[in-house]
Amino acid sequence: MANRSTTHTPVESGHDRFSYELVKRLLGDFIPLDIIKQFGGNDQLNMTRLALNLAGFVTTRREVNEQFAAYLSDIEASHPKRT
């Protein structure tokens, strides 16, 4: 089963970041910090970057909305209009 990540927030304040001091305190040696930094960024753990790097499939909200709009168009086109 593939993981999917969808980005919703195009502004910087919408992306959670945590110090590696906090990450080390919470995770201990469970996952080495050098491994986490490869996926989550060097200076701070950027949760968006981590999710995008670990996801098997990535979309943006706009892409999902466009796909859904196309789907609705197909449904509408396949049904005759009532008068």
Residue 45's φ and ψ, nearest 5 degrees, are -80, 110
Q: How far is CA 30 from the centre of its chain?
A: 23
Average pLDDT over all residues of the chain:
78
Model pLDDT, residue 41:
94
Q: Which has more confidence, 32 or 78? A: 32
pLDDT digits (tens, 9 = 90+) for 49-61: 898 888 876 666 6
CA distance 48 to 55: 10
CA distance 22 to 28: 10
Counting Cα atoms < 13 Å in the Cβ hemisphere of 27 gives 16
